[in-house]
Structure 1
Amino acid sequence: MLEVMVTTPGKRADARNNRDQIIAATLVAFREQGVDVPMKAVADRAGVGVGTLYRHFPDRDALISAVAHSYLADLAQTAATAWQEEEDAWAALCRFLHECAERRVGGLAAAIEPNLHAEIQADPRLREVRGKVVDLVDRMTEQAKASGAMRDDVEVEEVAALMTLQIYTRSNESYTEAVHRVVEIVLDGLRAAPQRR
């Protein structure tokens, strides 16, 4: 028998907020501690009870899948925004790689992606959102190469690997400074050599 849940308008918003808080907290926890972080630690970080966490995500696999979808959707949106707002494909790609490093995508990818390959194949929503990221990175790469801004021997898979660059800071610099320093070195390696006359 189908059970109909009657909720007040505020209740539905609260539930959505709790779910969003759990996903945001899990993204940080997975990045810092890996996917085996205790569920109670995730709930504590999200500011909810363990029961609330399990009402939204009945097991760790459900939580990993939801976090993966959120993480990939965020990457797709970041790439799409860079593509729309920058003057050309090279500028969009530079911005996107900077933002991936700034958001510490590498730490999160290292934590959750080894667990995801079977999930991505089985879950059409994950496959679709991952495909959007791949498509955008491919388009930026190919157009940056076609315009002469980027070396033409760089493959899209190599650019995709740079999205997960993990950056360590020196004792005398902030994380933002480290990102700028390291990503600029990487971009210098991708940039096409100036044409000699």
Structure 2
Amino acid sequence: MTTTDSVPLRADARRNRERIVSAARELFAEAGAAVPMEEIARRAQVGVGTLYRRFPEREELTRAVAADYIERLAALTQAAAAEEPDAWRALRRLVRQCAAPQLGALSAALKVALPDAFIADPDLTRARLRWMAQVDELVHAAQADGALRSDIGTGDLILLISLLTCHLPELPAHLGRSLPARYLELTLDGLAAEPTARLPGVPITASDLGTASDSTRTAKCTQPRQDDR
């Protein structure tokens, strides 16, 4: 984290920082973390000079967005645990929220921009471990209740969330929009001790995939395209 993160800010400076991080979060999800700094300043409604005073380097801003992202994950986890009637329903809610288009796109952008930061940056690592501990409690509670299959671990669940935020860039637009929700429910149903959900959407046929280019077969995960959200 930057040294400015440990120094108390005046109220107006704090508001500006929050607006910048919020604008960057939105734009990273929309266009990736390489979006011009000037565009972030415009979205935040602050001057470019203000942005650079708070974040002299792009990586500092990206790390601030990453810290904000983890805080949001922790808040979502805490809310799900408090508001749902049991741990399994809390986990299902959390996975759906993590895989939602906006949050999923932000996760993909941060993975590209900071591939090693969640391991190399001590502050991000500590925050991520705290969030993982929250998820771990839900996993063990759901397994103790007999709702979640017993042969998976918390790491399995977190890696599945990462996979669910991936996107095959050459799929036809109508498939790109429908598949995340469909495969999310298929994944959740596979995690349950007993199947509980009906898949949304309709089965994808071989002819459906035939309308996509051959590059789909070997495409890497990318951020969702703008028309797929």
Please, what TM-score do these two structures have when normalized by structure 1? 0.79
Amino acid at match of 1:152: S
Matches within 5 A, 1:144-159: 144-159=142-157
- 2:226 aligned partner: none
3-state SS of paired residue (1:104): helix
Cα separation, 2, equivalents of 1:127 and 1:84: 25
Contact 1:101 1:167 in 2 (8 A): no
Distance apart, 1:63 and its partner CA: 0.3
Contact 1:89 1:141 in 2 (8 A): yes
Q: CA separation of 1:170/1:113 partners in 2, compared to 1, >3 Å: closer, same or farther? A: closer
* Deviation digits for residues 151-170 of structure 1 (CA, Å, limit 9, x no counterpart): 12223222112334238897
- Identical positions, percent: 41
Cα separation, 1, equivalents of 2:22 and 2:182: 28
- 2:60 aligned partner: 62
Contact 1:167 1:182 in 2 (8 A): no
Contact 2:107 2:165 in 1 (8 A): no
Amino acid at match of 1:106: G
Contact 1:22 1:53 in 2 (8 A): yes
Deviates more, 1:115-124 or 1:181-190: 115-124
Amino acid at match of 1:77: A
Deviates more, 1:119-128 or 1:58-67: 119-128
- Structure 1's unaligned 5+ residue stretches are 1-10
Contact 2:108 2:165 in 1 (8 A): no
Root mean square deviation, CA, Å: 2.8
Q: How many residues align?
A: 182
Matches within 5 A, 1:41-120: 41-102=39-100, 104-116=102-114, 118-120=116-118
Matches within 5 A, 1:162-181: 162-164=160-162, 165-166=164-165, 171=174, 181=182
Cα separation, 1, equivalents of 2:100 and 2:110: 18
Contact 1:105 1:163 in 2 (8 A): no
